[in-house]
Amino acid sequence: MTEKLFLNDSYTNEFKANIVEIVKVKENYGIVLDKTYFYPENGGQPSDLGTIDSVEVIDVYYFNDKIIHLISEEIEKKEVVCKLNFERRFDLMQQHLGQHILSRCLEIKHEANTVGFHIGDDYVTIDIDKKLNNFEIDEIEKFSNEMVFKNLKVNILYPTEEELKALPLRKQPSVSENIRIVEIDKFDYSPCGGTHPKTTSEVGLIKIKKIKNHKNGLRIEFVCGRWALNDYRYKNEYINEISDMFAIKDIQVKERVMLLNNELIESKKKIDILKDELLEYEMKNIENDFILKNNIKIIGKYIDDKSIKDLRAIGNAIIQKDNYLICLISNENNKANMVIGKSKNLKVDSKEIFNKYIALLNGKGGGSPFLLQGSGDNIIEVENIISDFLKAEF
Ligand SMILES: [Zn+2]
């Protein structure tokens, strides 16, 4: 069985070990070492990555009590040089201890238990079994960071059964033998097999990013240490860019964005009113531009840049009056929109007209006998359709 060196030393990231077994895992190779500092994914903490004899380690995991170091090339030597990606490892150590501190603070202040824990690519979540408000969350964030700044010592304990009974554990162990307790200087006792820094100050900072309701409690998203710095860096950059854009102070950004948003909403409302007025105006112009044939007011018109919705609105307004037969076509994004309509008092077969022209446009559509609409991509035919319509007898 592999000696789990990571349990008692989270900092060594270069070591020599012997390969004791190689198993084929699909197209990759699973290396089993006599000892390892590589942490296998477990208990919410992702695996370490790095290299074994310069070959990249893709994943590290437990399989039937063995620790598998997954690599893509075969290694034929026995003794190998292993290197961890320590930046990644340390990031994970910061997140992990940050989680212990945060969970303990939630327990002390609100008797809220941590029931879920997940470390993602650049953020961490915990689920708690109680709902807290924003003020309470702010207080928890402050309290947790006080524990970071106090530079408390982190100890690894292997208590006897008797000693274990006397410890104020935050949660019950998930294993029954070789129970490992991570102690933060009399502040927190948590059974855990993960990797942690030696002191709380190495966590750097705990920043809660957001909370949302989750089951009967909350999901808290947070970042620690370098991840908190990265989070701050991009947010600072964005705020600076926005404040430069408007030549305002960073503190004024929120107020300005809210103001702009209100202006945008008002402008959109005004544009809608103006559009309606324009449509009304255009409709009046079109309505008077007809050819009278057999007592039918025939309108065949091309209108530039109108959506099918606008075209329909114009057509619908015109056919409310008697004796109109209309064919309106617009070009929108290299597509022809067409509306065929007739007044209620006319007996013309508008469907037949529509079917003939929509086929020429290579399009599809439909509607009521009084107003039919459709779109097609054969815009070359638009002029022919309108002249055909104006020449036809109904
Ligand atoms: Zn832990």
Average pLDDT on 135-154 reads: 98
Residues 300 and 186 placed together within one structural domain of the fold: no
- The pLDDT of residue 225 is 98
Total domains, the chain: 3
268 lies in a domain? no
List, as ranges, residues with CB under 5 A of the ion ligand 1: 96, 192, 194
Q: 8 CA to middle of ligand 1, Å?
A: 13
- Structural domain span for residue 161: 90-233
267 lies in a domain? no
* Distance of alpha carbon 138 from the chain centroid: 24
Domain boundary among 185, 207, 233: 233
Q: 49 CA to middle of ligand 1, Å?
A: 18
Residues 201 and 78 placed together within one structural domain of the fold: no
Q: Which two tokens stand for residue 118?
A: 């997940």
Distance CA 53, CA 16 (A): 9
252 lies in a domain? no
- The pLDDT of residue 349 is 95
Q: 191 CA to middle of ligand 1, Å?
A: 7
Q: Taking the CA atoms of 50, 56, 57 and 58 in sequence, report the sign of the dihedral they define.
A: positive
User: For the domain that residue 365 is a member of, what is the CATH number?
Assistant: 3.10.310.40
Q: What one-character DSSP code corresponds to residue 130?
A: S
Distance CA 311, CA 289 (A): 16
Residue range 168-214, pLDDT digits in tens: 999 888 888 889 999 999 999 999 999 999 999 999 999 999 999 99
Q: Which two tokens stand for residue 93?
A: 């150590």
- The pLDDT of residue 288 is 93
Residue range 275-313, pLDDT digits in tens: 889 888 988 999 999 999 999 999 999 998 889 999 999
Domain boundary among 39, 63, 84: 84
Q: 134 CA to middle of ligand 1, Å?
A: 26
Q: 119 CA to middle of ligand 1, Å?
A: 12
User: For the domain that residue 203 is a member of, what is the CATH number?
Assistant: 3.30.980.10
Residues 114 and 187 placed together within one structural domain of the fold: yes
Average pLDDT on 344-351 reads: 95
- The pLDDT of residue 283 is 87
Average pLDDT on 370-389 reads: 95
Residues 131 and 187 placed together within one structural domain of the fold: yes
User: For the domain that residue 71 is a member of, what is the CATH number?
Assistant: 2.40.30.130
Residue range 181-190, pLDDT digits in tens: 999 999 999 9
Strand ranges across the sheet with 336-342: 291-293, 296-304, 324-331, 336-342, 371-376, 363-367
Residues 43 and 106 placed together within one structural domain of the fold: no
Q: 332 CA to middle of ligand 1, Å?
A: 60
Distance CA 306, CA 198 (A): 68
Per mean pLDDT, which range of 17-21, 132-136, 249-253, 390-394 is the poorest? Answer: 390-394
Q: 6 CA to middle of ligand 1, Å?
A: 12
Distance CA 119, CA 281 (A): 61
303 lies in a domain? yes
